[in-house]
Amino acid sequence: MVNTKHLLSVLAFAISGINAYKLHYYQSQRCTGLKLDQDVFGPERGCQSLGGAKANTGSLIVESTGPIDDPFMVVLFESNDCNPDTIVGHGDENSGCIKPDEGKAFSSYQVWDLWE
């Protein structure tokens, strides 16, 4: 069965030319077990607090949508407002499983364009 919501979001990003990652949200801090959600997400969406289906996220896998993603980094924050003083993790499509620092949890996340 095709996830229509996900397909529409991918198509919207593809048509508009917006740079994005595909994020996979997992409950464990090892990117295994229960997959909570997936989303197409780029810098244009700003700071996102974990809530709804993503409320219990412990880790992420970042998948590239193409070479346009090269300057981007997913940043995890302990605060719920992406305060840079509360960074607890970061990574990109080459990082494998992204999780917060040992003993920490993250409450918000954002994709940063490192070339800006």
Residues of the chain under the 50 pLDDT cut: 1-2, 4-17
The pTM (predicted TM-score) of the whole model is: 0.79
The pLDDT value given to residue 114: 85
Number of domains comprising the chain = 1
Half-sphere exposure of residue 14: CA atoms within 13 angstroms, side-chain side: 10
Instruction: Determine the structural domain holding residue 8 and report its residue range.
Output: 4-12+19-113
Please list the residues that pair with 71 across neighbouring strands: none
* Cβ-Cβ contacts under 8 Å for 31 (sequence gap 6 or more): 24, 59, 60, 61, 96, 97, 99
The pLDDT value given to residue 13: 38
The CATH number for 72's domain is 2.60.20.10
Alpha-carbon gap, residue 35 to 113, rounded angstroms: 26
Q: Minimal CA–CA distance to 16: which of 49, 35, 44?
A: 44
